[in-house]
Homo-oligomer: A and B are copies of this chain.
Amino acid sequence: MIVAMQEAASEEQINAVMEIMEEAGVNVHRTTGATQTILAGVGPTASLDLSKFEVLPGVLRVHRISVPYKLTGRAFRPEGTVVEFPNGVKVGGAQVAVMAGPCSIENREQIFTTAARVKAAGASFLRGGAFKPRSSPYAFQGMGIPGLQLMHEAARENGLLTVSEVMEISQIESMLPYIDLFQVGARNMQNFNLLRELGQARKPVLLKRGIAATIEELLLSSEYIMAGGNYDVILCERGIRTYETATRNTMDLSAIPVVHKLSHLPIVADPSHGTGRRDMVTPMAKAAVAAGADAILVEVHPNADKAASDAAQTLYLEQFEDLMGQLRVIAAAVGRTL
């Protein structure tokens, strides 16, 4: 850490800051310039809350000079992580994986129809929500475990893996038989108790970026899971909240190359939530693959207009099939397969 003192800082103030740094176990190197004194601190600063130094008398600015995460950082696995599933499907390798399905599992026919069609089009994961976080208490809240059983059956019949959102620690155990990949939703990205429990789980985790989370915070949340011993984490960019209202969220595609630079973990793009509009999903999915996304997560429904949730951003099955054709060409253009 670096503490830059104000030009007018007194010797007493400088000493007080040095003392507090040392009490925190940090070794301090002082540089006294013509106009300004700089204190460089070395030691266990990853777990220190640096902002407390910023408000000490005489301090101008404080900067962290190391990254606050360890296991998630690129340096931990410079070659990159490939998450491999029991059936051999990989996320993070040369093949761009596709995860598709309805926002909510609604009934047997819906999920079986979807499974067959997305498999035929080339998807390797079937997605579907069983526990739905809805901003209104009066909206449809999901089918629960019976929905997951349906999805699991539909997936296995078609050779697909399953991915579904876990919202509560208490759901983990009961979801285990039916899902291959736990999804942590944007609203739970900093539900640290849940992340810690998933660190103990025996299945990979798809961690979505919070609606107002920085990329650094996403990596810190991933650290919670990895610190528990579960290294099979896949990150997900799904749009952040900005002032723009033409789209539901603003999809931050630069998160893809940024994550690849800072971390070894694979990253998935979700253009359905990223845009919130069916007519924007295809161009943004193509852009995401061009930017280097390791997988695409999209909402598809046999009767998209009447979907119980997220209808506006859900593709018709025909649109999805068309999208897959287009993605194949883009994947090839960036040296990957689909």
> Which residues of A come within 8 Å of B, CB atoms?
2, 4, 6-8, 20, 23, 29, 31, 33-36, 38, 40, 42, 46-47, 49, 51-56, 60-61, 63-69, 75, 133-139, 167-170, 187-188, 190-193, 196, 210-212, 214-217, 220-221, 223-224, 227, 240-248, 250-258, 261-262, 274-280, 283-284, 286-292, 305-307, 309-313, 329-330, 332-334
28 contacts between A and B (CB under 8 A): A2-B2, A4-B65, A20-B306, A33-B42, A35-B66, A38-B40, A46-B136, A51-B276, A52-B307, A53-B312, A55-B277, A63-B65, A133-B191, A133-B192, A137-B223, A137-B224, A138-B227, A187-B190, A188-B191, A214-B243, A215-B246, A244-B252, A250-B250, A257-B280, A283-B290, A290-B291, A330-B333, A333-B333
Q: Is the CB of A250 within 8 A of B247?
A: no
Q: Is the CB of A136 within 8 A of B66?
A: no
Q: What residues of chain B lie closer than 8 Å to A135, measured between beta carbons?
A: 190, 217, 220-221
Q: What residues of chain B lie closer than 8 Å to A168, measured between beta carbons?
A: 169, 193
Q: What residues of chain B lie closer than 8 Å to A262, measured between beta carbons?
A: 246
* Separation of A214 and B223 alpha carbons in the complex (Å): 29
Copies in the complex: 4
Contact of A138 among B46, B55, B211 (CB under 8 A): B46
- A104, chain B: closest CB distance, angstroms: 11
* Separation of A276 and B258 alpha carbons in the complex (Å): 12
Q: Is the CB of B243 within 8 A of A212?
A: yes
9 closest cross-chain pairs (CB), A and B: A212-B212, A52-B311, A4-B65, A290-B290, A51-B312, A287-B291, A287-B287, A333-B333, A47-B138
Asked, given contacts A33-B42, A169-B170, A243-B214, whether A251 binds B248 with beta carbons under 8 Å apart, the answer is: no
Q: Is the CB of B65 within 8 A of A36?
A: yes
- A247, chain B: closest CB distance, angstroms: 5
- A266, chain B: closest CB distance, angstroms: 15
Q: Told that A47-B139, A136-B220, A290-B330 touch, could you supply 4 new A-B pairs with CB distance under 8 A?
A: A31-B40, A49-B312, A60-B65, A251-B252
Asked, given contacts A136-B223, A188-B191, whether A52 binds B305 with beta carbons under 8 Å apart, the answer is: yes
Q: What residues of chain B lie closer than 8 Å to A288, measured between beta carbons?
A: 287
Q: Is the CB of B40 within 8 A of A246?
A: no
Q: Is the CB of B223 within 8 A of A244?
A: no
Q: Is the CB of B137 within 8 A of A214?
A: no
Q: Is the CB of B243 within 8 A of A137?
A: no
Q: Is the CB of B38 within 8 A of A245?
A: no
Q: What residues of chain B lie closer than 8 Å to A2, measured between beta carbons?
A: 2, 4, 38, 63, 65
* Separation of A92 and B130 alpha carbons in the complex (Å): 39
A224's nearest neighbour on chain B, judged by CB, is: B137
Contact of A252 among B60, B61, B250 (CB under 8 A): B250
Q: Is the CB of A187 within 8 A of B196?
A: no
* Separation of A307 and B65 alpha carbons in the complex (Å): 22
Q: Is the CB of A257 within 8 A of B284?
A: yes
Q: Is the CB of A55 within 8 A of B133?
A: no
* Separation of A137 and B225 alpha carbons in the complex (Å): 9
Asked, given contacts A51-B312, A68-B136, A136-B223, whether A253 binds B212 with beta carbons under 8 Å apart, the answer is: no
* Separation of A286 and B287 alpha carbons in the complex (Å): 7
